[in-house]
Amino acid sequence: MTIPVFLESEPAALEVIFAEPDQSFRWYEHDYPYPLARWNHHPEYEIHLIRQGNGRLLAGDYVGAFGTGHVALMGPDLPHDWIGDLAPGEMIKGRDVVIQFDGELLRSMTALAPEFGEFLPLLASARRGLEFTGKTALQAAELIEAIGQTQGAERLLRLFSLLGLLAGAPGADTRVLASAGYAPSLDTRSSVRIHQAFDYLLSELTQDLRLSVIAQRLGMSEAGFSRFFKKVTGHGFIELARKLRMQRACRLLMRPELSIAAICFEVGYSNLSNFNRHFRSEMQQTPSQYRRASLPNGRKAAAGKARLAVCKAWD
């Protein structure tokens, strides 16, 4: 298995990708947490499969949920990260499968075989990141796994089959991620600073996060840091922290033995009313409503109430 390397001047920022000498693209898998599974970018295209687990996907200025079977295609230099929601000390073996390839390979082949031109619109759309769902995601996951089991020309042919599947995916199975206007600043200094900010955010997420602390660490004013973080990631620092806290709260709400007050404190809130307000703003329902709808008995009860309401409406 080949291992990704990061430039020392841009820690965990610019990934330098090396395929095997007899291969034109790279396929590899890794566990999570994994030292190199963090907010990064590279000039290659990346097809990514989540085998198991859930959490939040960051792709440019996009933040959204992911779960088992998630398939995405990231374009060149689009910063991305799949932040998993794990209990302390938890690890998911083989969570990720990654395919990385140079788009110039396909562009050069188009000059020789015009049929390869059908992939070019897919590559153009991938610069903002693409997420695939439904039947397309299921078929793509099978092809991604199969590529890892083959060698030689068959391996390359299966990659073409995968790209053909993604290029022909129906609109209902495809979602563009980053906004059209997203234009990150990814110079060396910004890369170093943004990763210090992410390290602080993720390590202190359930504690007392303070904008003043990370701004001081980076030698910036609070206002300057806020503008910088928003420019590079497309999100406010506190806004992103709230989204990640709500992700963890949703996971904890699946455990009926935990009270909502205990979950409030566990995810970094000291005030229950603030927690409830932020949860409702993010999830469009209260923590209690989310728990009732998510737990098996809650889903049955919700369905029963819905049927009762229909019956009453007909009475």
Which of these three, 144, 176, 208, is where a domain ends? Answer: 176
List 39's β-bridge partners, or say none: none
Given a contact cutoff of 8 angstroms between Cβ atoms, the answer to whether 19 and 2 are in contact is yes
Which of these three, 152, 176, 200, is where a domain ends? Answer: 176
- Same domain? For 142 and 212 the reply is no
Query: What is the pLDDT at residue 312?
Result: 34
The residue segments making up the domain with residue 14 are: 5-176
- Same domain? For 32 and 126 the reply is yes
- Answer whether residue 24 shows pLDDT above 80: yes
For the chain, the average pLDDT equals 84
The answer to whether residue 118 is domain-embedded is yes
- Same domain? For 163 and 246 the reply is no
Query: What is the pLDDT at residue 73?
Result: 98
- Same domain? For 141 and 244 the reply is no
The answer to whether residue 309 is domain-embedded is no
- Same domain? For 236 and 276 the reply is yes
- Angle (nearest 5°) at CA 182 between 176 and 187: 125
Q: 77 is written with which tokens?
A: 């230099």
Place of tokens 């089959």: 161
**pLDDT, tens digit, for every residue of 236-294?**
999 989 988 998 899 899 899 999 999 999 999 989 999 999 999 988 999 999 999 88
Count how many domains the chain has: 2
Q: 170 is written with which tokens?
A: 């129906």
CATH label of the domain that carries residue 128: 2.60.120.10
CATH label of the domain that carries residue 220: 1.10.10.60
pTM score, two decimals? 0.74
**pLDDT, tens digit, for every residue of 194-204?**
888 988 988 88
Query: What is the pLDDT at residue 186?
Result: 62
**pLDDT, tens digit, for every residue of 61-120?**
999 999 999 999 999 989 999 999 887 789 999 999 999 999 888 888 888 888 889 999
The answer to whether residue 314 is domain-embedded is no
Query: What is the pLDDT at residue 185?
Result: 59
The answer to whether residue 183 is domain-embedded is no
User: How many alpha carbons lie under 13 Å from residue 26 in its C-beta half-sphere?
Assistant: 18
Count of other CB atoms within 10 angstroms of residue 155: 18
- Same domain? For 38 and 111 the reply is yes
The answer to whether residue 290 is domain-embedded is yes
- Same domain? For 165 and 272 the reply is no
- Same domain? For 159 and 237 the reply is no
